């Protein structure tokens, strides 16, 4: 009973989301709002400004390199977080064993 209720709820949620998503511009063309001046600039000027023909690489490591620096710091922070959860408790356990 409860499972069916949940299923009904989520099917309803899916229908609402789908109805709303249908309002978005559907045709995937170069006239879509997401394909704006920024994109055009990246596609037209990236060879002159960065020398890389892979535009994704050019944006990743030149136009938005600071963003990528933050990304590597996220990786660093995840290691620190995992180590602070797992390693510290290990040391505590060892100290308890010695006592």
Partner 1 sequence: MSFLDALIDHINYIGAMALFVIGLHTVVTHSNLIKRIMGINIMGTAVFLFFVAIGNVTGGVPPIIDQTNPDAVYINPLPSVLILTGIVVVVSITVYSLSLVIRIYETHGTIDQEEIAKMTSEDRDQ
Partner 2 sequence: MNDIIIKSITRLIIPFIQLYGVYIILHGHVSPGGGFAGGAMIGTSLVLYTLVFGIDKSKQKFSHRVSEYAESGGILLYVSLGLIGIVITGSFLTNIEAGFPIGNPGSVLSGGMIPLLMVGIGIKVASTFITLFHTLIEEEVV
The CB-side HSE value for 5 (13 A sphere, CA atoms) comes to: 2
Q: Which is nearer to partner 2, 7 or 65 (CB)?
A: 65
* Residue 6 sits in the site that holds partner 1 (CB under 8 A): yes
Minimum distance, C-beta of residue 52 to partner 2, in the bound complex (Å)? 4
CB 7 within 8 A of CB 15: no
Q: Which of 72, 70, 42, 44 is nearest to 57 (CA)?
A: 42
The CB-side HSE value for 58 (13 A sphere, CA atoms) comes to: 16
- 40-99 residues in contact with partner 1 (CB under 8 A) are 42-43, 46-47, 53-56, 59-60, 64, 67-68, 70-71, 74-75, 77-78, 81-82, 85-86, 89
Q: How far apart are CA 28 and CA 6, in angstroms?
A: 34
Give the interface with partner 1 as residue ranges (CB under 8 A).
3, 6-7, 10, 13-14, 17-18, 21-22, 24, 26-30, 32, 34-35, 38-39, 42-43, 46-47, 53-56, 59-60, 64, 67-68, 70-71, 74-75, 77-78, 81-82, 85-86, 89
């Amino acid at each position: 009973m409860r499972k069916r209720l949940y299923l009904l709820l989520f099917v309803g949620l899916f229908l609402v989301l789908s109805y709303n998503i249908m309002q978005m511009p559907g045709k995937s063309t170069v006239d879509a709002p997401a394909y704006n001046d920024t994109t055009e600039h990246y596609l037209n000027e990236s060879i002159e400004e960065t020398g890389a023909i892979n535009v994704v690489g050019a944006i990743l490591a030149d136009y938005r390199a600071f963003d990528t620096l933050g990304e590597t710091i996220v990786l660093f922070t995840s290691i620190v977080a995992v180590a602070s959860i797992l390693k510290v408790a290990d040391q505590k356990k060892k100290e308890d064993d010695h006592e």
